Structure 1
Amino acid sequence: MNKTLEMPMLYKRLSKVGLQPKFIQEKALPEWWDAELENNPVAVLEAAGRIAKRLGLDMASVLDPDAPITFKQVIRPKFKKIQKNSDESRLIVAQGLATRVAEMVTYACKRPFTDMATNAFEIRNFILKNNSYIDLDAILMCFNVFKVKTH
């Protein structure tokens, strides 16, 4: 038996992964969304699709009312943690949202990404020769200095 996706249950399932209804309503639902649409199954499906896309969620898990909601999988993320024994499962929401932000940033890039022609050790040495520490500005400056490979 197929279950219909309903907005109240979707909010509840999203809350279980740390995404509260207010956040969903303000950040993930389309601008035209209205509470009256929660009774329209087609509108709920469209809203669920947009929520999944905007927040980097696995679409199949969002659309299946019986499945737990999951984020798109990034192959074996490596978390840098303050405490050695931190619970990585608590970082999944942050990792999922950060992945989505990174995807959105790539859409804003006017120039397509290309690999740098040098290795990380050379880049690090170059940055530290001209800066006392490595930060985003220093890394971006390297893209202007080093030649990039074209494919």
Structure 2
Amino acid sequence: MKALSGWITLTLLSCSLVPAQQPSSTHTAPTITELVAARVARLTKLLTLTSAQAAAATSTFTIEETTVSAIRTNLATVKTALTTAIETNNGSGIASAATQTGTLTAQRVQAEASAEATFYLSLTATQRTIYQELLASGLHGNPPGDHGPRGGGPHK
């Protein structure tokens, strides 16, 4: 009986933890402003940016994030079209979606690289050296887990 009582207690305690383990449905993705602010804060800490450099970086990276966000939306639409084309064996639809994907990807890379170039030119020689070391080690100013083309600025 004691063993049964202990088992019931353990089961009840386990069940009481289940709701706490479920993901929150109120989580929202960070805004462009929040993403840029976090990125500039990291870069400021890593490179000791001046307030003028941080303001310029904020402007540059806000333009970049806004552009890239729109491109991501368009890529999602094209991915849906590609899936439909594959499922219906529509060769011209596949070709069209592939072309659009290539164009949008090129636009994203251009927006990211242009922002990196603008930011890089705003750095002092010492900051550039540190930034190049950060880029080489993979510790650029992008959010953790972001391994995209961004941050792939100038390398020696």
TM-score, normalised relative to structure 2: 0.24
Report which structure shows greater RCO (CA 8 Å, sep ≥6). Answer: 2
Tell me which protein shows more helix as a share of its residues. 2
Q: What is the TM-score when the length of structure 1 is the normalising length?
A: 0.25
Larger radius of gyration: 2
